[in-house]
Structure 1
């Protein structure tokens, strides 16, 4: 038998040097989790229903798995279709051994080990037995969304909501003192930025109703957006999130933006120049609102959404048909930051380039706007979406440590719709400690152990706690 192929999960995962293993076990392993960006549903957290089975836990919301299953030619019935969760689980089990090298393989292995103490890898042969074992444990332990959070030592979770959201489940959870994890909401105003969409005018009407304010001008739009942001602030939120599929900075006048906004409200077709003007003005003004209200601005840059329009029309958005795009120029993001900085209105900002080849350039850009006595005021975010696996994490450590102090990072997030995804923080911490351990063993770091221990604890927990004012 080949070494390592013993059919069991290894606790040395990603820990390839003795120092890294020591650092992980001693300083990183037991740190709590602050999951400041995810897409969990507040209703599911509030209702806290016991899961039906592992099929539901793995396949109800996970577009990573859906996309992988499609690549193997599995029918949509067994992905997002009418099949039972057990049938979907069995279909997924048939491809699991073939996911070697894919992060799904490691994520699932970590999830089986951490939540069910199962060490053997899933395959078509053992799938019924593993299903039965996990179903029994779900019933015995009453495994629910909150159980998963508490099991993983999650202190804070930030879901993501639109400004028009009533936040009703967040209010209900505030009244429910039994929840040990604090649930906040990240403010995501994307729909107000996409002026070219067919539903823009109807969305503005909904926003007007939510804010109880008339919106008949661009300035009126931002009065409503700020009013809604302050509702988020009342429940303790300090985090915003802005998705930027593509963005080109274009200078504009107030008159030009007023004209674009009026045309968009009438449902008229906008030119690409008008769209760029509007997005430039929108991101500038929304950033000023974040600054006034003490919110962190997260910019998720470079998504190419809904690439397969035919499938999206049938199955829906965010179902595994999104991609990476490089149309947003770094200079455009830099111009936005520069104009805000010049006016003294630049909020704390995290940049998340989806194009992994751009991480070094964005790290340099971020360092150029650190100011005002705030640690890491503008910083590079965790490897995101298609980059949140060991390769992407390691690549970012190696590239960015040369350009921006790694010790200032706010660490990992799940960006997930799954309650089993918290071992992604563990994966990140393992790679972090292995990276630092290799520097120690190579003689590239020879400071005190207490200093490197502080770096690990900060990146895993304390930096995020301070940066987001949790």
Structure 2
């Protein structure tokens, strides 16, 4: 029998395998709005309410999940990231999708086609590519499917972009004044200034000088420049920071005089030892943590990625192109030391910590639970399943760990961590998995058969908690 590309697939009860789960999803989760507190979306697309001509522009141009899958399927690199037409790049993805059976990309692809494009019961493959391409172009031509229109279809109320301290945030300011679409808030991502050992560090200081108007020669100058940028971000509604710490370190911070010497040596092109660079990173991170606490911001820490493993790929294509992996370092002690150093001075901000290696789930959940304080529910958060973990079993493992080691009632829920506007379908994917887990526990008698009470929990995790966490002081 030939494979049928038209089939009743992923219907309204997709992933919902029992009656309590179906009720929890349809009566509580499905209608909740979205506050996406960590993404890599383009502020240009949102502020300019960009219109997309085709699925490649909307779907494939920056999605390294899909690029990675195409490489695994043997698609030539020039058809993935090279100078081919949008139609040819889409065809390469259509050729790959049938090979994704069993991979979460298969579900995500068809969720994204279904909503908001309305392409249902048609599986993407080489034989359906023309029909899906044409249908999508026709629907993207309608006024309601601009960038802001897509966000509205997903019921997105707030989206947080990820921004360098030197960014002018002009687009965020213009968007806020327009009053259109969802709120778009910047996130302060100061990784470039933390990593003094990186080759581009000195050049970055020059850019930071220009953005802040503060000449940077001494360590206190660097802090003054960062303070100016923090004020600038706060004026644009920022309430979040983010740091990627591939391997967290904690070194007792050197004296200010020694930090001055380290800065001067790097400006002169000298290399620093691991101990020296670790001391500098620790000093800057602790200062930033105190500033975040003083301003009432949330600090996010993304831990354990191995980035740009393919040197050839890094050179030919660039970073964030699908050449990353799960790291294998241990970091419980340095992370605990960072949090404790801030907690001792009562300047530990609300903090979300994400691990990339699922081996670390229990360690991280137990560690953040050691710093709850100040009458703030869920002050420190074991963050949502991230990157390589945001598929069904990764989400389930994260939720089970959250249940076992923390209080699920105060969990701040899902995020996209994505560069694609269509990735908001992952919130629906998460909500279905979440409701299925709770429904199965009700069915087994592990939770009370009180769906109104459990529905309140569902609504809290889907939206209410993160609203409180970010915006209530």
TM-score tier after normalising by the smaller chain length: over 0.9
Q: Would the aligned equivalents of 2:57 and 2:86 in 1 still touch at CA under 8 Å?
A: yes
Distance 1:17 1:218 in 2: 59
Give the aligned partner of residue 96 of structure 1: 97
Give the aligned partner of residue 432 of structure 1: 434
Distance 2:108 2:143 in 1: 22
Distance 2:132 2:420 in 1: 19
In angstroms, what is the RMSD of aligned CA positions?
1.8
Give the aligned partner of residue 219 of structure 1: 220
Match of 1:337 among 339, 342, 354: 339
Alignment of 1:130-141 (within 5 A): 130-141=132-143
| Superposed displacement of residue 229, structure 1 | 1.1
| Superposed displacement of residue 116, structure 1 | 2.0
Q: Would the aligned equivalents of 2:73 and 2:99 in 1 still touch at CA under 8 Å?
A: no
Please say if 1:284 is aligned against 2:286.
yes
Match of 1:121 among 120, 123, 138: 123
Q: Would the aligned equivalents of 1:9 and 1:113 in 2 still touch at CA under 8 Å?
A: no
Give the aligned partner of residue 63 of structure 1: 64
Distance 2:223 2:452 in 1: 47
Distance 1:248 1:231 in 2: 29
Distance 1:142 1:465 in 2: 26
Distance 2:421 2:265 in 1: 42
Alignment of 1:150-299 (within 5 A): 150-177=152-179, 179-254=180-255, 255-299=257-301
Match of 1:400 among 382, 399, 402: 402
| Number of residue pairs the alignment of both structures matches | 469
TM-score (norm 2): 0.96
Give the aligned partner of residue 376 of structure 2: 374
Distance 1:400 1:410 in 2: 11
Distance 2:273 2:74 in 1: 40
Q: Which moved more, 1:116-125 or 1:429-438?
A: 116-125
Q: Would the aligned equivalents of 1:248 and 1:328 in 2 still touch at CA under 8 Å?
A: no
Distance 2:453 2:336 in 1: 33
Per-residue deviation, residues 288-330 of structure 1 (Å, max 9, x unmatched): 1111111100000111111111211111111111121132511
Q: Would the aligned equivalents of 1:298 and 1:351 in 2 still touch at CA under 8 Å?
A: yes
Distance 1:392 1:220 in 2: 43
Distance 2:159 2:7 in 1: 36
Per-residue deviation, residues 215-246 of structure 1 (Å, max 9, x unmatched): 22222212211211111111111011111111
Q: Would the aligned equivalents of 1:366 and 1:379 in 2 still touch at CA under 8 Å?
A: yes
Q: Would the aligned equivalents of 2:308 and 2:323 in 1 still touch at CA under 8 Å?
A: yes
Q: Would the aligned equivalents of 1:354 and 1:385 in 2 still touch at CA under 8 Å?
A: yes
Distance 1:180 1:140 in 2: 17
5+ residue gaps, structure 1, are: none
Distance 2:261 2:248 in 1: 20
Per-residue deviation, residues 83-103 of structure 1 (Å, max 9, x unmatched): 111101111101101101211
Q: Which moved more, 1:207-216 or 1:447-456?
A: 447-456
Distance 1:142 1:423 in 2: 17
Distance 2:264 2:449 in 1: 60
Please say if 1:351 is aligned against 2:353.
yes
